Amino acid sequence: MSLYGMMRTGVSGMQGQSNRLGTVADNIANSGTTGYKRSSVEFSTLVVPQAGSGSYSSGGVATTVRTSISQQGNIQYTTSATDLAISGEGFFTVQDASGQTFLTRAGSFVLDDEGRLVNAAGFYLQGYSYANGTPSTAANSFAGLEAVRIADLAMTATPSTEGVYSANLPADADIVAAGSLPSDNVAGSTYTNKTSMVAYDNLGGEVLMDIYFTKTADNTWEVAVYNQADGTAGTGFPYSSAALATDILTFDPTNGQLSGGGTINLNVPGGAALELDMSEMTQLATEFTPGTADVNGNAASAVSGYEIAADGTLYAQYDNGTLAALYRIPLANVTSPDQLNVLSGNVFSQSALSGEINLGFPEEGDFGKVTSGALEASNVDIGEELTAMIESQRNYTANSKVFQTGSELLDVLVNLKR
């Protein structure tokens, strides 16, 4: 065995332990960093081919740094709705100021001066906007993503465009003769049942609609919708304006299910065009029983706060209690998260060994869920790091003794000539 080889082996050991101490130092320094993933060093032998069985040439040790990216950190709850934590697989997609996209688990987002959600390292959260309809992901591309921007939302009103109403109409109700139906709009018009619903016009004004159900023949009902504001005080009929819409519903006499009609298109005073779905109406031998009554839209109202659901949908919450979907925040993942490139700012990028990035929404497939008002803590265990520090210190000292011994033996050889 060469004394020089012995000394090189000792240096190799010291370098390996230095690398390990470097990861320990980083881990301890980032033990309080949101979403930080601990690094560790794995050792492997470097063996020099042996010339014969009677001698040995020392090799050394090689180190490989591993980052436990896939290891979940503890979820810690906060008081900020824009703090986000991922439980399970996936990463937030974020962009830097130059527009380059990265992955991260650090979800401590706050508003910047332009209303964008930015984390502590200066990366902007990306999402799909609802401005052009219900969003969908591009599974293998970041196309369509944009910075989530919420602070510039002003007071808004949303006109009603669709609604759903269902009820049971009594099969044994009396037939009302033509000439005195609600659609005739005469004093004393007769109807079988009545309900009311609120819709919203283009300016967010409430429009209260009277909906009349009138049996005109066996298994046949007339539906007439009026603007309540046009009705005669105390009676309703006659209304000063014609019905907003009328329709005929027919029912199957064998099971009471709707067999004809069911979609009513009407113009809400103030400009909104409303499609009212009544396809779930029934006619059974019991009393009038209201079921579902729901119309979209909202009155003029200011934003009072924001809410982020577990599926990644970001809603604006208005003073009147309504919610409006603004963005849906996707998650990204790769086949081998632990092989991602680790970059400054607690972000990651795709590597040759990580696999391709694919996107999806939280709670779909293998993706985890998003928790609002929470952060994922660092997955560093201080106890383990201190133990590793002590082991590395002792191993470094031992390797230095090997180097020191080789140096002393060389001195002996040099002194033989003196």
Could you tell me which residues are beta bridge partners of residue 370?
86
Residue 321 region, left (φ>0) first, then alpha (ψ -120 to 50), else beta?
Answer: left
Provide the 8-state DSSP code for 154.
-
Q: What is the pTM of this model?
A: 0.69
Yes or no: say if 311 and 369 are a contact pair by the CB < 8 Å rule: yes
Q: How many CB atoms lie within 10 A of CB 6?
A: 19
- Kindly give the confidence (pLDDT) of every residue in the chain, 418 residues in length, as a single tens digit, with 9 standing for 90 and above: 577 778 888 888 889 899 999 999 999 999 999 999 999 998 888 777 666 666 777 778 888 899 999 999 999 999 999 999 999 999 999 999 999 999 999 999 999 988 899 999 999 999 999 988 889 888 788 988 999 998 666 677 889 999 999 999 999 999 999 999 999 999 989 999 999 999 999 888 899 999 999 999 999 999 999 999 999 988 899 999 999 999 999 999 999 999 999 999 999 998 889 999 999 999 999 999 999 999 988 888 778 888 999 999 999 888 777 788 899 999 999 999 999 999 999 999 999 999 999 999 999 989 999 999 999 999 999 999 999 999 999 999 998 888 888 888 887 887 886 6
Domain-by-domain residue ranges, the chain? 3-68+379-416, 75-155+303-376, 157-300
pLDDT per position as a tens digit, 95-144: 999 999 999 999 999 999 888 999 999 999 999 999 888 898 887 889 88
- The enclosing H or E element of 406 equals helix 382-416
Q: How far is CA 371 from CA 151, 192, 221, 359, in A?
A: 21, 49, 48, 18
* C-alpha dist (Å) from residue 408 to 2, 48, 400, 412: 14, 24, 12, 6
Q: Give the span between the Cα atoms of 105 and 348, in whole angstroms.
A: 9
Q: What is the DSSP letter of 123?
A: P
Identify the burial level of 223 via C-beta atoms within 10 angstroms of its C-beta, where 0-12 means exposed, 13-18 middle and 19 or more buried.
Answer: buried
Task: Identify the CATH assignment for 157-300 out of 2.60.98.20, 1.10.3720.10, 1.10.420.10, 3.40.50.720.
Answer: 2.60.98.20
The continuous run of DSSP H or E covering 195 comes out as strand 193-200
Residue 107 in contact with residue 85, Cβ under 8 Å?
A: yes
Residue type, 172: D
**Sign of the torsion angle spanned by Cα atoms 8, 14, 18, 24:** positive
Amino acid at 246: T
Which among 378, 225, 218, 191 has a CA at the least distance from the CA of 295?
225
Q: How far is CA 37 from the centre of its chain?
A: 21
